[in-house]
C-alpha cells in the first residue's frame, strides 16, 4: 500500500494497510472453498464446465457493479490479481496432490485428467472473496483512515532480507504441515509412512522457499520496479536516478508507447518460458493426448498468450483504460470457447492460467506494473496486469485446441 495515494483510492489503500489481515483471510477462504469444491467435483465426477459458467458470470456481475462505484473501481485490479497470486509454489502442489489422491481413491475420474481443474477454482474463488470484502467494507462504512502508517518492508523482525525470508517460509509451510499431520494422526487414524523422507522433504522445502524468496526480494522485484519506473521514459519525460534527473522522451509519444508495449510482450513471453510448472504441464498434456498435442506447442501457445496479456495490461496503465473493459470481453468469449471445446481441453486451458503466473512471472510483473503506475501522472494504481496475463493464455490454448481438433477431423475424413 505504500505506492497507493490514499486520497485517490482510499478503499484500496485501506485494504492493503489497515485491513491487510482481512484481505489475506479472504484470499485464504477463497482457496479453501475452491479446494472443497474441487474435492466434491472429483468425488461426484462433476464436469468443470458447469462450475466455470456460474462463477465467471458472478465475477462479471460483481466486477461491472464495482466499476460503477468510484472507490470500488480501484479495487478491481487488486481482486483479479489475487487470483493469479494464489496459485503459487505452496498452494498448487498441495491442491493438485489432494485432487489426484481423491481421484485415485474413488476411481471415478479419468486417471489422465486427475487433479486438473482444481487450480482453476483456486484462481477464481479468491477473486469473489476479495470483491466481497471490498463491498462489505464500502457499504458497511468501515473507517478508511488515510493516516494509518505503512509498516516498513522489513517487518517487525529485523533479521534482514534472508532472515525475513526464512521466517516467512516457516510461517507458510510449518503450520500447514502440522495441520496435515494432525488430520492424518487424529482424524484419519493413519500412520505416516517414510516419516524420515517427509521430514527431509519439508526441510528442503523450507530451505528452497527461503532461498527463492530472498532471490526474488534482492533480484527480480527491484529489477522489475526499476524497469517499470524507467519504461515511461520511452514516451514521456520522467525523473530518474539519484539525484533525480529529467529523462526522456526517448522515442516520441506513439513510437515510445509501441516500444513499451512490445517490451511488455517479450518480457511476458520470456518469463513464461522460464516457468518450471509450465514444462511439467506440457509433459502431462502430451501424455494425456497421446502425442496429439505436443509439449512445445502448448508452451508456445501459453507463452504467447501471457505475452499478449501483459502487453494489454501495460496498455491499460499507459492509456488509463478501465480494467473492466479489457477483462470482461475475453472472459465472456471464454464461456463460448469452453462450451464448444472438449472437457480435456477446458481443464488444460483453464489450469494453464494458474501455472503461468508462478514465482518468476508474478514478482517481476507486479513490480513493473507498480513502478510504471508510480511514474505516470494521473495513474492511481498499477494492478490488473496479472489479471490480463491469466485470461489471455486460456483463450490462446482453447483456440489452439479447437484448431488441432479441426485439423484432426479433416485428416480423419481424408
Strand partners, 240: 245
pLDDT at 385: 87
Strand partners, 247: 238
| Predicted model pTM | 0.83
pLDDT tens-place values along the chain, 414 residues long: 556 777 888 899 889 888 989 999 999 999 889 888 888 888 888 888 999 999 999 999 999 999 999 889 999 999 998 888 777 667 767 776 777 677 676 665 554 565 678 888 888 999 999 999 999 999 887 666 544 454 444 444 445 777 887 887 888 788 888 888 888 888 878 887 788 888 998 899 889 888 888 887 788 778 777 777 787 788 777 766 667 777 767 887 788 888 889 988 998 898 888 777 777 778 877 777 777 778 888 889 889 999 999 999 888 888 888 999 999 999 999 999 999 998 888 888 888 877 766 666 777 777 777 777 777 776 666 788 888 988 999 999 899 888 878 887 887 776
Strand partners, 238: 247
pLDDT at 152: 44
Contact by Cβ (8 Å): 328, 64: yes
Omega of the bond leading into 95 within 30 degrees of 0 (cis):
no
Residue 215 cell numbers, joined: 532471490
Domain ranges, ordered by start, for the chain: 10-145+251-413, 159-224
Amino acid at each position: 500500500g505504500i505506492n497507493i495515494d490514499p486520497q485517490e483510492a482510499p478503499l484500496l489503500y485501506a485494504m492493503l494497510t489497515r485491513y491487510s489481515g482481512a484481505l489475506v483471510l479472504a484470499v485464504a477462504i477463497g482457496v479453501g472453498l475452491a479446494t472443497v469444491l474441487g474435492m466434491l467435483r472429483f468425488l461426484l465426477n462433476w464436469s468443470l464446465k458447469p462450475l466455470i459458467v456460474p462463477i465467471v458470470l458472478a465475477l462479471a456481475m460483481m466486477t461491472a457493479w464495482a466499476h460503477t462505484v468510484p472507490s470500488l473501481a480501484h479495487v478491481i485490479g487488486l481482486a483479479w490479481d489475487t487470483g493469479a497470486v494464489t496459485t503459487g509454489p505452496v498452494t498448487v502442489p498441495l491442491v493438485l496432490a489432494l485432487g489426484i489422491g481423491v481421484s485415485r481413491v474413488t476411481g471415478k475420474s479419468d486417471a489422465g485428467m486427475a487433479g486438473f481443474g482444481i487450480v482453476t477454482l483456486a484462481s477464481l474463488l479468491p477473486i469473489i472473496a476479495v470483491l466481497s470484502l471490498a463491498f462489505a467494507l464500502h457499504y458497511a462504512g468501515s473507517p478508511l483512515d488515510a493516516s494509518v502508517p505503512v509498516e516498513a518492508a522489513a517487518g517487525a523482525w529485523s533479521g534482514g532480507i534472508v532472515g525475513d525470508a526464512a521466517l516467512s517460509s516457516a510461517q507458510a509451510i510449518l503450520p500447514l504441515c502440522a495441520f496435515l499431520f494432525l488430520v492424518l494422526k487424529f482424524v484419519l487414524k493413519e500412520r505416516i509412512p517414510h516419516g524420515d523422507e517427509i521430514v527431509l522433504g519439508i526441510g528442503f522445502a523450507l530451505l528452497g522457499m527461503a532461498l527463492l524468496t530472498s532471490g526474488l526480494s534482492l533480484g527480480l522485484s527491484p529489477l522489475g520496479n526499476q524497469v517499470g519506473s524507467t519504461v515511461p521514459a520511452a514516451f514521456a519525460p520522467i525523473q530518474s536516478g539519484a539525484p533525480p534527473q529529467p529523462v526522456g522522451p526517448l522515442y516520441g509519444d506513439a513510437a515510445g508507447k509501441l516500444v513499451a508495449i512490445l517490451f511488455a510482450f517479450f518480457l511476458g513471453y520470456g518469463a513464461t518460458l522460464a516457468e518450471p510448472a509450465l514444462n511439467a504441464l506440457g509433459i502431462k498434456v502430451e501424455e494425456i493426448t497421446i502425442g496429439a498435442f505436443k509439449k512445445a506447442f502448448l508452451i508456445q501457445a501459453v507463452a504467447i498468450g501471457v505475452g499478449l496479456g501483459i502487453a494489454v495490461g501495460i496498455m491499460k496503465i499507459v492509456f488509463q483504460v478501465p480494467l473492466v473493459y479489457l477483462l470482461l470481453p475475453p472472459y465472456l468469449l471464454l464461456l463460448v470457447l469452453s462450451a464448444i471445446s472438449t472437457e480435456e481441453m477446458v481443464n488444460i486451458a483453464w489450469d494453464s492460467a494458474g501455472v503461468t503466473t508462478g514465482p518468476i512471472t508474478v514478482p517481476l510483473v507486479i513490480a513493473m506494473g507498480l513502478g510504471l503506475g508510480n511514474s505516470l501522472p494521473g495513474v492511481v494504481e498499477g494492478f490488473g496486469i496479472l489479471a490480463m496475463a491469466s485470461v489471455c493464455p486460456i483463450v490462446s490454448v482453447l483456440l489452439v485446441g479447437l484448431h488441432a481438433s479441426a485439423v484432426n477431423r479433416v485428416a480423419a475424413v481424408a
